[in-house]
């Protein structure tokens, strides 16, 4: 579905990604683990065209999308729930969700039933449903994070990139987010997941990559990474 080869990117003269290769097969959940500043968000930005790769390639469903603009990539069915939520605070929750579906009107993919999908997204996130006509700026940080995720779902995407969907959420909502990720997975949605809760991410994921200083340090099936002593020591903590 998504294949990244020797990806290089950065900010200005500062190179952050030094040749990243990641494969996200159709229908699978792949997680990207790493310390703060390792380059996880930068990887997602380089995939979605928010920053332009300076080397390597990003291939989605056989099409080389490196260098494409974000809107073109969204039209192909790649949704991004970015770090730090970025919802439109002066618009209602419903309007934010409808905006998530907007690239469906402009791309070649089938438009589908947007009204139906809106109701489905609201069912998936009951907190948003209760507040659907409220301005998004009145939501708590955690609720805005959920809105960003629901908006990504509204693209009816081929693949979703989730950057720390549980950031700032109370434990009970973290659990809810992971349940939603599992439910999307069981519906066959392909995902690339970055999560601070690495142990939980490896529970839901099929495969994982560990990133250090802009490089992939190790990768393997989630089952194997979960019990890898080095991964456990560095990312899973003693309590997991
Ligand atoms: N907009 C930016 N301009 C300049 N440098 C940046 C920018 N965003 C990130 N960086 C730098 O790029 C490196 C990788 O950052 P990135 O945000 O990709 O890390 P991350 O793995 O997502 O970390 P975290 O777990 O804290 O979210 C860091 O050294 C960071 O300071
Ligand atoms: Mg990040």
> pLDDT-based confidence at 237, cuts 50/70/90?
confident
Region 88-108 average pLDDT: 91
45-62, pLDDT tens digit by residue? 999 999 999 999 999 999
Does residue 16 line the site of ligand 1, with CB under 6 A?
yes
Mean pLDDT is lowest, of 37-46, 105-114, 146-155, for 105-114
Domains and CATH numbers, the chain: 2-236 (3.40.50.300)
Tell me the average pLDDT of the chain: 93
Which pLDDT value is given to residue 111? Answer: 86
| Cα–Cα dist 150/164, whole Å | 14
Atom number in ligand 1 closest to CA 39: 18
131-163, pLDDT tens digit by residue? 999 999 999 888 898 999 999 999 999 999 999
Which pLDDT value is given to residue 240? Answer: 42
Are 53 and 67 spatial neighbours (Cβ–Cβ below 8 Å)?
yes
Which residues does residue 11 pair with via DSSP β-bridges, in sequence order? Answer: 14
With residues binned 3-state (H G I as helix, E B as strand, rest as coil), the percentages for the chain, rounded to 5, are 40, 25, 35
Q: Which ranges in the chain belong to alpha helices (H)?
A: 40-48, 70-75, 93-101, 103-106, 114-124, 126-130, 141-153, 171-186, 198-204, 222-227, 229-231
Mean pLDDT is lowest, of 28-42, 165-179, 194-208, for 165-179
Does residue 96 line the site of ligand 1, with CB under 6 A?
no
Q: What is the pTM of this model?
A: 0.93
Q: Indicate if the pLDDT at residue 239 is higher than 70.
A: no
44 CA to middle of ligand 2, Å? 9
Q: State percent of the chain over pLDDT 90.
A: 81
Region 182-188 average pLDDT: 92
């Amino acid at each position: 579905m998504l294949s990244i080869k020797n990806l290089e990117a950065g900010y200005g003269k500062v190179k952050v990604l030094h040749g990243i290769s990641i494969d996200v097969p159709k229908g699978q959940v792949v997680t990207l683990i790493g310390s703060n500043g390792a380059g996880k968000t930068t990887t997602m930005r380089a995939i979605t065209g928010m920053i332009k790769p300076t080397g390597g390639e990003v291939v989605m469903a056989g099409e080389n999308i490196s260098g494409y603009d974000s809107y073109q990539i969204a039209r192909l069915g790649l949704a991004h729930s970015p770090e730090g939520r970025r919802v439109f605070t002066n618009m209602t929750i419903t309007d934010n969700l409808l905006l998530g579906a907007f690239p469906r009107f402009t791309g070649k993919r089938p438009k589908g039933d947007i009204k139906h999908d809106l109701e489905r997204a609201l069912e998936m996130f009951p907190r948003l449903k209760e507040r659907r006509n409220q301005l998004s700026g009145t939501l708590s940080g955690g609720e805005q994070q959920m809105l960003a995720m629901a908006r990504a779902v509204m693209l009816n995407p081929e693949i979703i990139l989730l950057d720390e969907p549980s950031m700032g959420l109370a434990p009970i909502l973290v659990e809810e987010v992971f349940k939603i990720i599992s439910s999307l997975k069981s519906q066959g949605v392909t995902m690339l997941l970055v999560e601070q809760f690495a142990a939980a991410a490896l529970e839901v994921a099929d495969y994982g990559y560990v990133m250090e200083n802009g490089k992939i340090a190790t990768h393997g099936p989630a089952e194997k990474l979960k019990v890898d002593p080095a991964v456990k020591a560095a990312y899973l903590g003693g309590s997991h």
